Each structure stands twice: as C-alpha cells, then as structure tokens.
Amino acid sequence: MTWSIASQKSNPTVERLRDEIAHFESNYRDGWDGPGTHGPTKEAVGAIRLALDAIPSGIVLPKTMLSPSGDIGLYWDFANEGYADLNADAQGCLSFFSRDCKGGEQFETVPSILLGAQWYWARVGRLSNQGNRAA
C-alpha cells in the first residue's frame, strides 16, 4: 500500500469542515440541547482543528460532530469496514475510538504531537478499503 504524507489543508472539503467547526464554536453555547448540555470550548475547537489539518492526502475525510457534553469530533464511517472517531474534550485532550468489521475495538488518548500521516494511516487508513479512499 502506498500512503501519502501530504496534508489536505487546501482541499475544499476540509474548508467546509473547518466552517462546520467554526459554526459549532460560534452558535452552540451551554444549554444548546437542553439543561446540562455544553458548547465546545476554545481548547476543544483548537485541538480538533489541528487534528483536521493533520489528516494526510489519501485518507477519506471525516464528518464533524458535537456531543451534548461539548466534545467536538471527527467521525469516519466505512460502511462494512468499521468506524472511527477522534474527539476533543473541554480541555482540548484528544481521544480516539475505532471498531472494525470483526468487532475489534481500539481506544487511546492521543497527544496532538503524534497526529500525522503515520498515525492516521495506522488507525483510520486500516479501516478503509480501496473503494473508500480519497483521491
């Protein structure tokens, strides 16, 4: 398998995802989904932006998500291959969870310094088959 280390920062889809993250930051405040829910913090938004910008070319781009706890994340769904999510909590700490098609699960806390091509290919790239790869 050949994998790229080039970033997708200039990809129009990455721009759209950045816009979605900015929308979460500016429009979702505490209580947005009822009592006890929280909006994303600047730390969470900053961490997930760094994570998004670190996705190398060739990795399918994720969807964005916001949880009622204020965690903001990136989510990949590979249909029959599995799924993965990378979340930033209120303190900006990143965590990764994935489940493959055989039910194998992986969970880890991720120091942002480790995010890069090799990290994404080892965790997200392994879930996608050739039909799911981005150009």
Q: Is residue 135 part of a domain?
A: no
What pLDDT, on a 0 to 100 scale, did the predictor assign at position 58? 87
What pLDDT, on a 0 to 100 scale, did the predictor assign at position 29? 93
- CA dihedral for 76, 78, 80, 82, sign (positive or negative): negative
What pLDDT, on a 0 to 100 scale, did the predictor assign at position 9? 63
Q: Is residue 104 part of a domain?
A: yes
CATH number, domain of 48, equals: 3.10.450
Q: Is residue 124 part of a domain?
A: yes
What pLDDT, on a 0 to 100 scale, did the predictor assign at position 8? 66
> At residue 62, what is the residue type?
P
Which residue segment(s) compose the domain that 25 sits in?
A: 12-129
Q: Which residues of 33-64 are buried (b: 16+ CB within 10 A; e: fewer)?
A: eeeebbbbbeebbbbbbebbebbbebbbebeb
State how far the Cα of 17 lies from the Cα of 49, in Å rounded to an integer: 9
What pLDDT, on a 0 to 100 scale, did the predictor assign at position 64? 97
pLDDT in tens, the chain (135 residues): 444 445 566 678 889 999 999 999 999 999 999 999 999 999 999 999 999 999 998 899 999 999 999 999 999 999 888 999 999 999 999 999 999 989 999 999 998 888 888 999 999 998 875 334 443
Q: Is residue 1 part of a domain?
A: no
Q: Is residue 30 part of a domain?
A: yes
Q: Is residue 71 part of a domain?
A: yes
Q: Is residue 2 part of a domain?
A: no
Q: Is residue 37 part of a domain?
A: yes
Q: How many domains does the chain have?
A: 1
What pLDDT, on a 0 to 100 scale, did the predictor assign at position 113? 82
